[in-house]
Amino acid sequence: MKKDSKIYIAGHRGLVGSAIVKNLKAKGYQNLIVRTHKQLDLTDSVAVASFYAKEQPEYVFLAAAKVGGIVANNIYRGEFIYENLMIQNNVIHQAYLNKVKKLLFLGSTCIYPKSCPQPMKEEYLLTDVLEYTNEPYAIAKIAGIKLCESYNIQYGTNFMAVMPTNLYGPNDNFDLEKSHVLPALIRKIHLGKALETHNWQAIRTNLNHLPIEGVDGNASENTILEVLTKYGLSRTSDGTVQVEIWGSGKPMREFLWSEDMADACVFLMQHQNFTDTYLKGSKEIRNTHINIGTGEDISIANLALLIQKQIAFKGTFYFNHDKPDGTLKKLTNVSKLNALGWKHTMNLEKGIDAAYSWYLKDCK
């Protein structure tokens, strides 16, 4: 990519897209094209075709997606598979028709089998069944990988796919119904801290910023307490504030700072091509995607303790064993990416500190 190359970032307001925009600008790329969902509905094939015809981007980062945690993935199964398929089909197909020089499709490590050998190598894709709770989303992302591979093989395009591990950072989603585990824990423990110190101003400010099921800071204390209890924030008989965590707390998860992820994506767009992702002369071209992660993981229970320490929450945790754990271990093998010359820089403890600082500023 040249500094004046026309670059389209699909999903620029989200956790992933906003980090990519920030990284590109920091590296001197200024000819960036962005559209809000209101300006361009990526599930609308006619609108996407019109956009490409008008703008003619040279490079595309496909970071737009319908995303969520274990709750949202399990409840909104139809929406997750339909919307993600529509978004990626439209953006990738129009990139082909409009002769985009290079495209980077972002998926997720949930594409790997539920009982995948650890750490997960790219070659383990489609070797066993998927985790049930996020199967529709995973199937959509696998389809995106195969769409890129198939267009490259048939049409000679240069479309790459990367599979980031669990991400967190600025512009994360803190909606308790739809967020992933780390931002959900940050918000719940933040609210737990406010409850134990009887800081109702902080609670009301938080709910005004992001209501829970329509309950904002103007609601009565009883109404607020009811919705907080529903989402796992309550007091025990001795007055201690308790935060509910789904499952046993034993599942291991890997977390990557979103700005590290963005740096890896820009690095790959600058230095790699699809033809670099497989052995030359291969009869079958598959598993060309690249994992992006840290190669390090932590249990959900220990993650909660790290966040508790950062927020100085004195309450307790209740692990609800009636709720699903999801996959017990999801650690990426990042040797492919490391061999290309990229490695993450932010460790988890500093990352949680930075994420919470951002969250406090955003909630004001």
Q: Which of 52, 96, 137, 168 is catalytic?
A: 137
156 sits in the region (left: phi over 0; alpha: psi -120 to 50; else beta) called left
Beta strand 252-253 with 298-299 is: antiparallel
Is 137 tagged catalytic? yes
Name the residue with tokens 């989200």: 14
Q: How far is residue 273's CA from residue 47's CA, in Å, rounded to a whole number?
A: 28
Q: How far is residue 221's CA from residue 60's CA, in Å, rounded to a whole number?
A: 48
* Burial readout 252-290 (b: 16 or more C-beta within 10 A, e: otherwise): bbbbbbbbbbbbbbbbbbeebebeebeeeeeeeeebbbb
Contacts of 50 (CB under 8 A, 6+ apart): none
Whether 113 and 130 have beta carbons less than 8 Å apart is answered as yes
Cis peptide bond N-terminal to 113, omega within 30? no
Beta strand 233-235 with 298-299 is: unpaired
Q: How far is residue 170's CA from residue 180's CA, in Å, rounded to a whole number?
A: 14
Q: How far is residue 53's CA from residue 190's CA, in Å, rounded to a whole number?
A: 46
* Burial readout 100-113 (b: 16 or more C-beta within 10 A, e: otherwise): bbbbbbbbbbbbbb
Whether 353 and 200 have beta carbons less than 8 Å apart is answered as no
Contacts of 235 (CB under 8 A, 6+ apart): 195, 241, 242
Whether 7 and 24 have beta carbons less than 8 Å apart is answered as yes
Q: How far is residue 205's CA from residue 198's CA, in Å, rounded to a whole number?
A: 13
Active site residues: 137
